[in-house]
């Protein structure tokens, strides 16, 4: 598994940033390559994305979720093995640090070459910057899920 970590500071309060991140179905609006995310239930999502020029689908499970602190996940099937966590840290009353860490398994020669050239890291960086632009331009979240999920799997 390859590992990527990206951080972005967002000019919005912690509560607003966290709540927006829980709105997985809005991810195609700001995440590079994500075509569709469907919330199946409180802890499961179905993803469809274009990665490395190929359409991929997978299901993910939230393994830990602590409001205003952490959301961790892992893929449970499909053709894009991945896992990760996003951490939320208040920097002030109106500024929040978002730290996204993820692991993924490149599939095939093209993905391994792209990975070696840093393409996935650049894609993740564009996605966190897209999230920052999206929530800052709105100033308010579209909704939020404040439920907790505790330690289904070790987190990154």
The predicted pLDDT at position 152 comes to 65
CB-CB contact of 88 with 17 (8 Å): yes
From 42-56, 61-75, 83-97, the region with the lowest mean pLDDT: 42-56
Which pTM value belongs to this model? 0.89
Tell me which CATH code domain 2-138 carries.
3.30.530.20
Q: How far apart are CA 57 and CA 49, in angstroms?
A: 6
Q: How far apart are CA 8 and CA 21, in angstroms?
A: 13
DSSP H or E segment with residue 17 = helix 14-21
CB-CB contact of 148 with 67 (8 Å): yes
Task: List, for residues 76-123, the tens digit of each pLDDT value.
Answer: 999 889 999 999 999 999 999 999 999 987 677 766 676 666 778 888
């Amino acid at each position: 598994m390859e590992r990527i970590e990206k951080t972005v500071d967002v000019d919005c309060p912690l509560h607003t940033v966290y709540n927006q991140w829980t709105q997985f179905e809005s991810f195609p609006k700001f995440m590079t390559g994500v075509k569709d995310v469907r919330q199946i239930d409180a802890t499961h999502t179905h993803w469809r994305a274009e990665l490395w020029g190929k359409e991929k689908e997978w299901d993910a499970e939230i393994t830990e979720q602590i409001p205003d602190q952490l959301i961790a996940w892992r893929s449970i099937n499909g053709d894009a093995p991945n896992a990760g966590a996003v951490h939320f840290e208040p920097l002030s009353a109106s500024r929040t640090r978002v730290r996204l860490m993820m692991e993924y398994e490149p599939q095939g020669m093209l993905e391994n070459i792209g990975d070696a050239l840093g393409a996935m890291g650049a894609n993740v960086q564009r996605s966190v910057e897209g999230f920052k632009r999206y929530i800052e331009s709105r100033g308010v979240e579209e909704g939020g899920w404040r439920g907790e999920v505790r330690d289904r799997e070790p987190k990154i």
